[in-house]
Amino acid sequence: MRRGSVRTRAALGATLVVAVALVAAGIAVVAVLRGGLADNARLQAESRARQVAAQVSGADARQVRELDGLDDDTDEPVQVVAPGGKVLGAGETLRGRGPIAGFNRAEADDAEDAEDAEVDGDTEEKTLRLPADEDTSETGEFTVVAVQTLTRDGTPVTVYAGSSLKDQQEAVSSVTRSMLLGLPGLLLVVGGVTWLVTRRALRPVESIRREMAGITASTDLSRRVPEPDARDEVARLARTTNETLAALESSVERQRQFVADVSHELRSPIASLRTQLEVGAAHPDLLDVDGAVEDTVRLQDLATDLLLLARLDAGERPGEGRVALGALVREELAQQEHGPHPVRLGETAEGEVAGSRGQLTRVVVNLLQNAQRHAASEVTVTVRETVREGRRWMELEVSDDGPGVPESERERIFERFVRLDDARSRDEGGAGLGLAIARDVATRHGGTLSVVEGARFVLRLPAAEG
């Protein structure tokens, strides 16, 4: 994507929104202005019509032409019309012209109907084009109001008075023109300010991008992106990016350490096996078959552990099977009667857990082997069902009477290739993967594995429903 396109889109978007808002506001302002001026013109026309009507009501029909209200100096149209369309009087702009048309007032067609004409006192309003000046043929728009009244001699008449809409039209045109002339400049200001503000806001993002590009090119995961001092979304993005880099660096470091530990663990049995085979090839009578078999078994066990760890790291799901934890423990104890220490089996609840039988078997075996390796004289195993926070759990507890695990090391022992007894030879102990595998399996089954009170390991798994 082209550099700066985010800023450009933000500026264009803000400009468009402001333009739409200004156009809508301008239309509303013009409508309100037009309505207000139209109301003002109507009030002026009605006021004059009623003023003339009041004068007409005090005069005879023959005297209407001579009324003062018809001879003022304004150019506003005024006309008094009798039944039948007879013009009794008019101002200068309408003098000598026919009656104003376009109204719905019921007027008598002739003098004989005059007696039946009704006067309701209401007004009627129209916008009409009328002569703008007596001396020209030009016309203009007027708001014309009609008022009915009676002359002193009882003749019903209609008084028409108009108010010019020229001022209204000029005011609306002036306002509209001003808004149209000012709109482009205002939109340029809005777009420019938005572009500058967005540019400044996105400057830290560009710094983060450049640093990430540098990290990718150099593969140096110890580098970190700059974190702005502000507490906004960009600062949170920078912190999250650094946290991700830290986690990635830690993961890569663990992977490197894992490869180094695997190489170290494989070197000893392979070297021992090679030595025995070379000696056997040169001196068949000196071949230590039992030692070669033992080294081969160690290699096989280590390869099995590494394969299981690889599958767990790849996110292998535990499966949807159901396993009776108590029965599984009894089966494994029956197969390990050759262990160096006796195993005392305590409570064995018959509840089931959901998951992989093979993986859970591996957990049980690893815990039993770890207890046999460190026990002084006895190993104790119990399986019970508990309820915690409204949920049923199955707990496997494996303990021994050995020296136990120091409190400061109770989490470290679950790391891969960790041995607390540094003096112990590799032939006497494992590779340090058993407890790490057991905890990984427990976690992927939705449970936990912890060590408490020295040498008591507790595996807790959610009980199967139904």
113-168 pLDDT, tens digit each: 444 445 555 678 777 777 766 555 567 788 889 998 888 888 898 888 888 888 88
Least confident range of 78-87, 293-302, 386-395 = 293-302
| DSSP assigned state of 463 | B
Which token pair is 3? Answer: 């550099």
Mean per-residue pLDDT, 1-18? 76
Cα 352 to its chain centre, rounded Å, is 42
217-256 pLDDT, tens digit each: 887 888 888 888 777 788 888 888 888 888 888 878 877 8
285-314 pLDDT, tens digit each: 777 777 778 778 778 877 887 788 777 777
Phi, psi at 380, each rounded to 5°:
-120, 135
| 63/68: higher pLDDT | 63
pLDDT at 195: 84
Give domain 1-219's CATH architecture: 2-Layer Sandwich (3.30)
Cα–Cα distance, 191 to 370 (Å, whole number): 71
Tell whether domain 318-462 is in CATH 2.40.30.20.
no
Which token pair is 173? Answer: 């045109």
Among candidate residues 425, 448, 452, 427, the one with its CA nearest the CA of residue 438: 448
pLDDT at 136: 53
pLDDT at 426: 41
| CA distances from residue 155 to 52, 81, 82 in whole angstroms, order as listed | 15, 10, 7
| CA distances from residue 143 to 27, 104, 346, 353, 404 in whole angstroms, order as listed | 23, 15, 106, 90, 105
Least confident range of 196-200, 323-327, 338-342 = 338-342
SS3 396: strand
pLDDT at 420: 63
Least confident range of 83-87, 318-322, 381-385, 407-411 = 318-322
Q: How far apart are the first and last CA of the chain?
A: 55
| pLDDT range class, residue 68, cuts 50, 70, 90 | low
Residue 96: CB partners within 8 Å, gap ≥ 6?
90
pLDDT at 4: 52
Q: Kindly report the average pLDDT of the chain as a whole number.
A: 81
Bridge partners of 163, per DSSP, are 143
136-151 pLDDT, tens digit each: 556 778 888 999 888 8
Domain ranges for the chain, please list them: 1-219, 221-316, 318-462
pLDDT at 95: 76
Cα–Cα distance, 28 to 8 (Å, whole number): 30
- Tokens 């859970």 belong to which residue? 360
Q: What secondary structure does DSSP assign to 125-143, as a single string?
A: EEEEEEES-TTS--EEEEE
pLDDT at 396: 92
Give domain 221-316's CATH architecture: Orthogonal Bundle (1.10)
112, burial (CB in 10 Å: exposed 0-12, middle 13-18, buried 19+): exposed
Which token pair is 38? Answer: 């139209």
Mean per-residue pLDDT, 205-228? 84
Cα–Cα distance, 236 to 229 (Å, whole number): 10
